[in-house]
Structure 1
Amino acid sequence: MMKNLGEYGKPASSGTSKEEKIRLIEKYSSLVKITAYRLAARLPSDHMVDDLISCGNIGLLEAIESFNPRLMIKFETFAKFRIRGAMLDEMRQRDWIPRSVRAKMREMDNLKKALSSKLSKIPDDKEMAAALEMSLEEYYEMIVYIQPAGMVSYDQMLGGMGDEKNLLDFLEDKSSPHPDFEIQIKELKKRIIEALEQLAQDEQMVMALYYYEGLTLKEIAEVLKVTESRVSQIHAKALLKLNWRLDAYRNDVEDLSAATLAKGD
C-alpha cells in the first residue's frame, strides 16, 4: 500500500519560527523540483524548468505561511496543491501549451459536449472513437498525442498532486469533521471502482501495482515480463480512459475541496 507521507504538523503563519520555515523549505525543495520536471516533460522545451521551480518555491512558501492544521489534512498534501497551482498559473499566463494541441483539445471538448447532449450521458471511449470514425486504438493514440501539461492524471482526479493518492488518504482519516464530504467521496470511490473495472486486464494490473502496491514502472515491467516503455504506454492509456469517464465527478471533487478549505478558514 502507499506510504503515509507528510505531516499534520503546524506550519501556521502565526506560530512558525524562521528556523522552522527554513526546515520545511529544505525538506520539500525536492517536491518542488519533481513537480516542475514532471510538468516540463510535457512542454515543448525543457528551458522552462527553472521558471517552474521558481514559481513552485513561491507556492511552497505560501503553503507554509497559510497552512491551517484545523483542516486535518497533511501539510504535504496542502503544499503539493499550492506548489502545483503556482506552476500551472505560470503556464497559463505564458500560454506554454502549443497552439495546435490547444486547438485539438478544444475540438475534443466540443465533440464530447455534443455527444453528451445527444446521448444524455457522458460518451464512453467507443462512442467517442465512433464519432471520430476511428478504431479505439487510433483514438487512444490521438489522446496520448494531445495530452498536454494541463491534462489531468489519475492522482489529480482524486485531488492529489503527485504519485500518491493524497486526497483519498485524507478522506480515509476518520477524524474528518465533515460528514457530507465523506458521503460524496463514497460515491466518487464507487464511480472510480466502476471505471477501473471497465479497463482492460493489463491496464487494471498496472494501475493496481503502481497506485496501490507502490511499484515503479520498471518494477512492474519485471513483474509482467514486458518492457518499461510498454508499461508506460499501458499506464498512459488507462489514465486517459479514467480521465474521460470520471470527468463529471472531477468538478464535484474540486468544488467539495474548495468548500472544505473555506470551512477551515
Structure 2
Amino acid sequence: MAMVILRRLGMAIPTLLGVSLLIWLLLSILPGDPLVGLLPQDATPQDRVDLEIAMGLDRPLPVRYVAWMGDVLRGDFGYSPFRRRDVSELIATAWKNTAVLAAVSAGFGLSIGLLAGTVAGVYRGRWIDRVVTSFSIVGLSVPSFWIAILLLIVFSAELKILPAGGRADFSDGLFNYAKYLVMPVFAGSLITIAITARVARASIVETYQAEFVELLRAKGLREWQVLLHVGKNAISPVLTTRSPLGIWQWCRPPRCSSP
C-alpha cells in the first residue's frame, strides 16, 4: 500500500510541474502591460526599466519560471501589487474561510447526495426516482457559476434575505455566520450532490439484485434491516468517488463572493 501511494505521488509531480508551466506561460503571454498601475503617471522610461529589473521582467521566460518555482518551493509566493501585501499573508488570511467552506460543502453534498441516491435506488422507477434523476442531470449540466449568479439575483438582489458577499465571525452568532455560507455552499455542492446521488442510486440498485438480499428476506428480516445490509455493501463506490470530489471541492475557486 505504501509503495502504491509513493508511486502515485511520484506520478503527480510531473503533472504538477506541467500544469504550473502551462499556467505560467499563459499568464506570461497574455496581452497587456503588467506594469500598468504600478508606475506613477509621471514615470520616466528609466523608471520603467528600473522596475522591470526589480521585478525580474527583463530576464528570459525559462529563467523567470525556474526562479518562480524555486521561490514557491521555499514557501515564497511573491507579492501582490493589487493587494499591496505578500501572497503568503493573503493565503494565511483566507485559508480558514476556504477550509470551512470546503468542509461544509463536501459534507452537505455527500449527505444530501447519499440520501437522495438511496431513496431513488430503493424506490426505483417511481416518481421520487425520476425527480432525483432529473435533479442529477440538471446538477451535472448547469455550471455552478450560473447557479451562483441565479442565487445572487433571487436571494440577494430581489428578496434581500441573504448577503451577496463578505463573511462573519463565530462571535457574531451562528445564525449570522451561517447566512454567509448558505449560497456558496449550495452553489459549490450542487455537482457533488448530483454525482453522489447518481453513484449511490446505481450502487443501491445493483446491490439489491445480489443473491444475499434474497437470502436475508428469506430469513425473515424486515425491509429496513435489509436496507442496512444493502447500504453497507453499496457505500464503497460512493466513498471511492467522494475522495477526488473532496480534493476538487478544496482546490476549486469559491462562488458567490465568499472570501
Shorter-chain TM-score range: under 0.3
Task: State the TM-score, normalized to the length of structure 2.
Answer: 0.24
Larger radius of gyration: 2
Task: State the TM-score, normalized to the length of structure 1.
Answer: 0.23
